[in-house]
Amino acid sequence: MADVTDRALGGEEAADLSRRRFLRGAGGVAAGGMIAPSLLAASGSANAAPAIAAHPAGPETLDGDVEIELLINGTKRKVVVEPRTTLLDALRMRIDPALTGTKSVCERGNCGACTVLVDGEPRYACLQLACDLRGRAITTIEGLGTPAQLSVLQQEFVAYDGSMCGFCTPGFVVAITACLQKDPAASEATIRTACAGNLCRCGTQPQIFEAALAAGRRLAEGK
Amino acid sequence: MSLEASMREDPPKKRKIKTTKVVNGVDTEVEVEIDDVAAIAWPERSKLRVLNQDIPRVDGPDKVTGVARYTHDVRLPGMVYARLLVSPLPRAKVVNLDVEAAKKVKGVVHVLVVKGTETGFLGDPVAAVSAESMDAAEDGLRALAAKFEPLPWAADHDSAMKEGAPLVAKSGNVSKAATDGDEAKARAALAAGAFRVKATYRLPVQHHACLETHGVVVDFRGGDEATVYCSTQAAHGFAGDAAEELGLPANAVTGIVEHMGGGFGSKFGLDKQGQVACQIAKELKRPVHLMLDRRAEFLMGGNRSGGIQTIEASCDADGKMTGFVVDAFKHGGLQAGSLAGMPYCYRPESHYRAVRSVRMHLDASRAMRAPGSPQASFGMEGIVDELAYAAGIDLVRFRKQNLPADAAWQHQLDRVAQEIGWADHPHKSKPGEASGQECIGIGFGVSAWGGGGSDDCEVEVRIDRDGSITAACGVQDLGTGTRTYMAAITAEEFGLAVSDVTAKLGSSRLGMGVGSGGSVTTASLAPAVKDAASKARVAFAAHLGQVLRLPAEGFRFEPEGVLHTGAKTPTVMTWKKACGTLPAEGLRAQGKWIESLAARGVNCTQAARVAVDPGTGRVRVLHMVCVQAVGLPLNRLALKSQIQGGMIQALGYALSEERVIDPLLGIQLNPSFEEYKMPHALEIPRMTTIIDDLDTRQGVIGVGEPPVIPGAGAIANAIYNACGARVRDLPITPDKVLAALGKVV
Amino acid sequence: MKSFRLVNPTTIDEAVALASDPNSGRVQYLAGGQDLLTEMKEHLAEPDRVVNLKSIPGLDVIDSSSGALGVGSLATLARIESDATIRAHWTALSEAAASVASTQIRSCGTLGGNLCQRPRCVYYRIEEARCLKKGGTECFSYGGFNKYNAILGGGPSWIVHPSDLAPALVALGAEIVLRSKTGSRRMPIERFYVLPADGDVTKETALLDGEIVIQILAPKPAPGSRSTYLKFKERESYDFALSAVAASVTLENGRVREARICLGGVAPVPWRVTRAEAVLVGRTLDAAAAREAAEAALHGAEPLSQNAYKIPLTKTLVERALLALVR
């Protein structure tokens, strides 16, 4: 890639626009003494079981093409990936037939279009290594409903016009599904926070919030 | 005359059909002329059963379940993934491209050099690597070890305008001024005005930021034909060019766009990446998937041009605007950029404008939702506001008196003022004080648009023996709801439910369809759908008349079924039974545009209420209101979404979006959704969207664009109204508000 | 991303034994991956071996049973945010965790990852801009785009440290525990962060190659103490801080016995402001005191061409954070 330390300046000399000033910053970090009494080292019990068993011959090392098994929407799927393969790429390009409901939009965890659930918690699939998710329950948009059998939230999305171009929709549906699963009585503020990590460029957010609240009411009433 | 033949004519005033009449006491088959034009009209609104209601999108279920397939999702046997390398600098010499090394990378199957010597703009495509996986294609790009030597460029306004600046075009970077109006008269009015203001407004470059990037999948396997999937706004707009690139006859290539993830004006034609994909497919004889990655999308996917406007305006003591002079620059990168005619909407007695383009070695601007209008609106609403304050006149009253007396804006301004709470608002002609943590302000903005249609769509409505009915046209649904109103118009015609009708679109194999730009789709397509449906109804009635020996004109298609109110007792048959009488080939009718079913010219008025925190500079938009004239609404639910969507894009334009270029290093600093900041859930205000039902025209009009225009001006004005911080430079971020309040030393 | 070998150790010893070496190449440790993976996609980081810390049991424990708080480096931000004990007694930490990014990031982003994340400076994040932090010779923000950069402690690099948890932990008087092949180290969290002028400008922390963060330890809060974290973002939904304030105050008989105030988003390290703390000690924490402390907090600020707004902004935040503690 280009190295822009050598740069052309549209005709100007480099000298007057040089930014080579190595000033030392003013002040330093104040030395703070410990005010609190002595600390105890925390002792803890194991929390999450490791997905990988201890190897007597040293730690498990994955290199090059590996076949792994992922639990996706309740079904075990074998897929060949590399260590660098993200869950998003595994879903969209390696599993056969491809699961393309989860969208690739920014690949940097900024837009939420790739939101999936891992053990019920929303994550950006573009920032998950597929190999890291062995043994976890992965839920994609395909696992939440079908056109013939829409989930309650999906029904309300349709009723309230929560989609325009629809490219952001799977991400929003997954993120809000997780929110309502935790609390069907979630307020609008809670719903907004739950999908604050999702982007819609068409601007359907107001309808999305209404759909989410309507779905929440039905779920809370057991409908 | 066959059914089909009788229906293929252009709609004449009279139409001949065969029917049964009682002649001399005998049932006789006769040919009669009926006046059918009168029948092709939208029913009165009170009689509409399906249209002008809230209609859930017919493709909603596919979208909410991830079933809807976009170009990015297309998967084909043997398909390769291609990645583009684009120029990281505005102008550079390509001094190294290790093609052989790239070819040797595991998984790489093809390397194409697009521009091997010199690049002309930041984002210019240089090379394409295709591989069995996207990761391998990326590896291939890295292996090219591309090296660029900077050449002198112009990447900002001041540098581009300087004497001796590197030139984008031989004729120079700065165009001649395009002028309009009477300069002498306008300047005299300024000098003589009771009140006079002058200000400079700056607009950034805004990105379309579609969620689905630009790109294609070219399904060519070395044979006689190909299918090209494209994320595009015109189904008929790219297959021909693809055929040329592939070396195939034009009619051997099908263009498909079933669903697409946003365009907003940026996606027309095969485009550079489509061309490259075709070149690769031609050589490889394998399907090629080439979608721009997000960074390339920012660098070469187009943008809304920015600019600078220096405006002077005057009014008399009563607030009538007397003079208006604007000196403007457009920043459209390699292209000219756009700016709607100023003065925008408002009517000063005299005006003069001089508009110049300043070109730079940056990605050319493309049409973006109401090209040139948000820019013009921002400057206009700003100067109108500033003049109103100078004159000490109520902001609504000032606007009304400077807009045409018979314009819809008059009643729309009253309505938005009411909805936003203007009557009780304390700051009507003077801004509030910058104290406390929440200063409340209100601002207004207006816009206008054409939205008319033309004779560009060929629609076919087809009824089959099994009861299925289809409306088809080679148009596209961008999220605009096209599928839904095609089905709805047809359902309305036949007394059916929307779900009984299938809408087919998105293929160049279907009848000609207009491209979705300029908000022309609805006004072009809907009349043609209505025409086709109407003709199909007439033909179906004529057919049933023959079969049942009843006068054709007595048939009615109602939700209860097919009725006949003739001389004999009313007859009812179900839709299915009626269809069962059709011949095996069913019934087809072709529709074309009918001018009287469309209209053009809409006004839109908006207001914004904001809370400004003078301690931090934070602006929270609390409420946005819009009254939009739409002519005859087809689907009120989708209309509301479209209007709100435009308002939210304006919100981003007002408060957070801008392309940031470092002109010395020659790089875009924010080619990502992290640093290019658009509104997310917590930014969305309460929104009141009102379809202007005082617009009783019985013609459909496209309104994709007008709602995006006035929001930024309304918000900027609301910020001033709240606390006296006048920021004339979008986006209005907290640092600018603090500076405008004098808090930044 | 460049190809790499993924290593899944099951003990800390295994993990720290895998430091970079010339034979097996560069090692980087992977926790939640919410920063490391983005850096790898931009080719800012190209490790040959990625050593996963999630496969080690016991690194994610949250424990306050002894009165002091221990949070394992692999505890997710979501778990920290929702922990009722942390919210009640180490509120600044809870509020800081809740303010990070988005739900999706918080569900798997970790304490350790948040503390060790690399800067967000646009020049740092763009591969082609070979700035000081990446081995180049110049900090491009200084004479370039610096709206988001440092107003305190800057030079020769003017990044701001993007962590929300770090200033909160400074205000809570926390320590950080590190482990490497050679053993454990423990230090006040302020010493973990290193000014560009004081150390290797290509790093932000004292973390050595082959060393990992094990946990933070925050002392039991003194009676009468409250803490808070106030973060100001340019976009409320999902953004890094333009400026942030973490403050912890202990009141005794209506007067401030102790205060710790730390600024975020304004300096290359979490910026503790003892000058402002000194203003408060012995006084009633009222509007006047808060305002004076806010002024003192920005002592020595040297804005760049585009970021002077951070001065009045930060003063406002300091004032409000302090007054929130006595409401």
- Does residue C195 share a domain with residue C111? yes
Over range C115-132, report the average pLDDT: 97
- Averaged pLDDT for residues C283-304: 98
Q: Looking at the structure, do residues C110 and C4 belong to the same domain, yes or no?
A: no
How would you write B585-654 as a 3-class SS string? CCEEEEECCCHHHECCCEEEEEEEEEEEECCCCEEEEEEEEEEECCECCCEHHHHHHHHHHHHHHHHHHH
For residue C152, being part of any structural domain is answered with: no
Reduce the DSSP state of residue C297 to 3 states and report it: helix
Residue with tokens 């089959």: B464
Do residues C229 and C319 share a domain?
yes
Distance CA B71, CA B414 (A): 45
State chain A's mean pLDDT as an integer.
81
Chain B residue with Cα closest to C238: B680
pLDDT at B458: 97
Give residue A52's pLDDT: 62
Q: Which of B64, B68, B91 sits opposite A154 (nearest CB)?
A: B64
**Nearest neighbour of A163 by CB, restricted to B57, B680, B682:** B57
User: Model's pTM, two decimal places?
Assistant: 0.93
In a domain, C153, yes or no: no
Q: Are residues C211 and C311 in the same domain?
A: no
Please tell me which of the candidates C61, C130, C271 has its beta carbon nearest to residue A3: C130
Paired tokens of B145: 């070890």
Which positions in chain B touch A111 (Cβ < 8 Å)? 211, 673
> What are the pLDDT digits (tens) for B457-469?
999 999 999 999 9
Question: Which are the contacts of A182, defined by CB distance < 8 A and separation ≥ 6?
Answer: none
Contact B683 C235 (CB under 8 A): yes
Q: Is residue C128 part of a domain?
A: no
Instruction: Examine the fold and report which residue of C218, C250, C265 is the final residue of a domain before the chain moves on.
Output: C218
Separate counts of helices (H) and strands (E) for chain C: 14, 12
pLDDT 10s digits, A14-23: 332 333 322 2
Check pLDDT > 90 for residue A48.
no
ipTM value: 0.98
Over residues A96-125, the mean pLDDT reads 98
Token pair listed for B436: 């406390």
Q: Are residues C83 and C208 in the same domain?
A: yes
pLDDT at C78 over 80: yes
CB contact under 8 A, A101 and B66: yes
Is residue B615 less than 8 Å (CB to CB) from chain C?
Answer: yes
pLDDT at site B17: 59
Decide if A211 contacts A157 (C-beta within 8 A): yes
Last residue of a domain, one of C202, C218, C234: C218
Note whether C48 and C28 are same-domain residues: yes
Residue B619 φ/ψ, nearest 5 degrees = -110, 125
- For residue A57, is pLDDT > 50? yes
Q: Are B302 and B296 in contact (CB under 8 A)?
A: no
What does the pLDDT read at residue A2? 42
* A84 vs B contacts (CB less than 8 Å): 135
Same domain, C45 and C74: no
State which H helix or E strand residue B661 sits in.
strand B661-662
C322 close to C293: Cβ distance less than 8 angstroms: yes
Q: What is the DSSP letter of A142?
A: G
How many domains is chain C built from? 3
Tell me, yes or no, whether C248 lies in a domain.
Answer: yes
Nearest chain C residue to B138 by CA distance is C1
C307 at B interface, C-beta within 8 A: yes
Cβ atoms within 10 Å, residue B719: 30
Is C46 in the same domain as C164? no
Q: Among residues C43, C40, C38, A6, which one has the least CA distance to residue B147?
A: A6
Q: What percent of chain B has pLDDT over 70?
A: 94
Higher per-residue pLDDT: A49 or B53: B53
pLDDT at B56 over 60: yes
Q: What pLDDT shows up at residue B23?
A: 54
| pLDDT above 50 for C164 | yes
| Confidence band of B1 (pLDDT split at 50, 70, 90) | very low
**If you average pLDDT over residues B246-257, what whole number do you get?**
98
Domain span including residue C106: 62-117+160-218
Nearest to B406 by CA among B694, B713, B180: B694
Question: What's C312's domain CATH number?
Answer: 3.30.390.50
CA B449 to CA B454: how far, in whole Å? 15
Q: Which of A52, A84, A124 sits opposite C8 (nearest CB)?
A: A52
At residue B77 the predicted structure's pLDDT band, cuts being 50, 70 and 90, is very high
Please report the pLDDT score of residue A15 as a whole number: 30
CB B549 within 8 A of CB B537: no
Residue B476 to residue B485: CA distance in whole angstroms: 12
CATH number for C16: 3.30.43.10
Query: Is C171 found in the same domain as C100?
Result: yes
Confidence of residue B24 (pLDDT cuts 50, 70, 90): low
Residue C203 is assigned to a structural domain of this protein? yes
Longest CA–CA span in chain B (Å) reads 100
Clarify whether residues C8 and C40 are in a common domain.
yes
Let me know if residue C143 belongs to a domain. no
User: C30, C53, C76: which is the final residue of a domain?
Assistant: C53
Q: Are residues C290 and C311 in the same domain?
A: yes
Q: Can you give the pLDDT at residue B745?
A: 87
> B656 in contact with C at a CB cutoff of 8 Å?
yes
The predicted structure's pLDDT at residue B30: 63
Q: From residue B706, how far is each of A166, B233, B712 by CA, in Å?
A: 22, 18, 13
Q: Which CATH number do you get for residue C194?
A: 3.30.465.10
Same domain, C71 and C178: yes
In a domain, C5, yes or no: yes
B145 and chain C: CB distance < 8 Å anywhere? no
pLDDT for B6? 43
Higher pLDDT residue, C177 or A5? Answer: C177
Put simply, the answer to whether C237 touches B660 (Cβ < 8 Å) is: no
Chain B residue with minimum CA distance to A18: B664
Query: Considering the domain boundaries, does residue C74 fall inside one?
Result: yes
Residue of C2, C44, C122, C314 to mutate for B, most B C-beta atoms under 10 A: C122
pLDDT at C194: 98
pLDDT attached to residue B25: 55
User: Do A42 and C140 count as a contact with CB atoms less than 8 A apart?
Assistant: no
How much is the pLDDT for B721?
Answer: 98
